[in-house]
């Protein structure tokens, strides 16, 4: 991922990028893999493969493994990422950072 690229999705409040697959001690593609990015969940430390560097797998992980947070984050995204729901997301991020 381009280091200058800004992460706009609210799901990034719960994940951090740890690099390309294959070189991070597992959790990614095999050595010499397709270059899929890998992210770590800040809540449970799970490694999530991001095929084609999109956020689909991150959203799926949040929905299935952290269902108490998913509705708020999803609603904040649909609302344009502002307002009271965004403040809740920021508060949770402070707790897990």
What's the rounded Cα separation, in Å, for the pair 96 and 76? 19
Q: Residue 16 domain-assigned?
A: yes
Residue with tokens 């999803």: 74
| The two three-digit tokens of residue 18, written as one number | 């740890």
Confidence of residue 73 (pLDDT cuts 50, 70, 90): confident
What's the rounded Cα separation, in Å, for the pair 83 and 1? 29
Q: Residue 4 domain-assigned?
A: no
Which residue range is the domain that position 49 belongs to? Answer: 10-96
Q: Residue 42 domain-assigned?
A: yes
For residue 67, pLDDT beyond 50: yes
Q: Residue 5 domain-assigned?
A: no
Query: Which segment of 2-16, 33-47, 57-71 scores lowest on mean pLDDT?
Result: 2-16
Domain count, the chain: 1
pLDDT at 2: 57
Whether the full predicted model's pTM is greater than 0.95, yes or no, is no
Q: Residue 3 domain-assigned?
A: no
pLDDT digits (tens, 9 = 90+) for 22-42: 443 333 333 335 567 899 999
Q: Residue 1 domain-assigned?
A: no
């Amino acid at each position: 991922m381009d280091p200058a690229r800004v992460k706009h999705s609210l799901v990034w409040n719960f994940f951090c990028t740890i690099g390309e697959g294959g070189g991070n001690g597992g959790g990614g593609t095999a050595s010499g893999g397709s270059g899929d990015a890998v992210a770590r969940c800040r809540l449970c430390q799970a490694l999530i493969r991001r095929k084609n560097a999109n956020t689909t797998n991150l959203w799926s992980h949040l929905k299935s493994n952290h269902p108490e947070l998913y509705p708020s984050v999803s609603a904040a995204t649909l609302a344009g990422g502002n307002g009271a729901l965004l403040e809740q997301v920021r508060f949770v991020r402070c707790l897990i950072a």
